[in-house]
Amino acid sequence: MKVAPEAARPRPGAPNLSSRRRTWCRQPPAHAVRPSCGRPARRREAPSSNLAAPHRGGALTPAATAAGSPAHAVLLRSIELLAAMDLDGYIDLFADDAVIEFPYAPPGRPARLDTPSAVRDYVTAIGAAVTIESFPSLVVHHLADPHSIVAEVALHGTAVETGAPYDVQYVWILEERDGRIVRFRDYWNPTHTTAATGSADGGGAE
């Protein structure tokens, strides 16, 4: 006569699968903090002060224009003016002895502008080539010198001649004096601007 074997017992240290509870995480709404299975939900951290809230056209809001230094204030003012396509106001931000430099300027384009008339002609040409609509992102790098600042800028607009979207990333290095720009270095990829505008003339929007 055969005796029925005892129910298998788990080996020492082996997990007891029969008593394990399953935890299911329901997909939260897009605006909610995503919970983690079996752990308390983390509180969403406030955005860093170095990362501006996405800006989608029109003038920047007062909350987005809280400046941390004189150079930061001038930078944010310049973006306000460009987003509003107030090119005359933007040109007036440059001091009479201001210098604009383009380290990656393509052949046939000036690498340096150092007179008020050259600055005005350049900005006017940019306005004729591109309709600036928004600045989707702005990352600011504060320097030890409060009169200098570095910014990573994403600019969105439309090329006037081709109607193509104009989405270009820039790195700007700005120096100010008495609330006006005295030196501006503009780094951008000329191939991106050429693809949007159909010519190299549409590049380097400050």
Q: What's residue 191's pLDDT?
A: 72
Determine the average pLDDT of the residues in 8-21. Answer: 50
Record the tokens describing residue 63, joined without a space.
């909350």
62-202 domain in CATH 3.10.450.50? yes
Q: What's residue 78's pLDDT?
A: 97
Phi, psi of 146 (to 5 degrees): -70, -10
Task: Note whether 118 and 109 are within 8 A (CB).
Answer: no
pTM: predicted TM-score of the whole model, two decimal places: 0.65
The residue with greater pLDDT, 146 or 59, is 146
Task: Note whether 128 and 101 are within 8 A (CB).
Answer: no
Phi, psi of 91 (to 5 degrees): -60, -35
Q: What's residue 42's pLDDT?
A: 38
What region, left, alpha or beta, does residue 198 occupy, with left being phi > 0 and alpha being psi -120 to 50 degrees?
Answer: left
Domain boundaries, the chain: 62-202
* CA gyration radius, the chain: 27
The residue with greater pLDDT, 83 or 204, is 83
What are 22's strand-pairing partners?
A: none
Report the alpha-carbon distance of residue 188 to residue 179 in Å, rounded. 25
Q: Which residues contact 170 (CB under 8 A, 6 or more apart)?
A: 151, 152, 153, 154, 155, 186, 187, 188, 204, 205
Q: Check pLDDT > 80 for residue 20.
A: no
Look up residue 153 and give its amino acid: V
Q: Confidence band (pLDDT; 50, 70, 90) for 91? A: very high
Q: Check pLDDT > 90 for residue 100.
A: yes
Q: Which residues contact 10 (CB under 8 A, 6 or more apart)?
A: 16
Q: Check pLDDT > 80 for residue 27.
A: no
Look up residue 32 and give its amino acid: A
Look at the chain and count its residues: 206
Report the alpha-carbon distance of residue 200 to residue 191 in Å, rounded. 8
Record the tokens describing residue 158, joined without a space.
């439309």
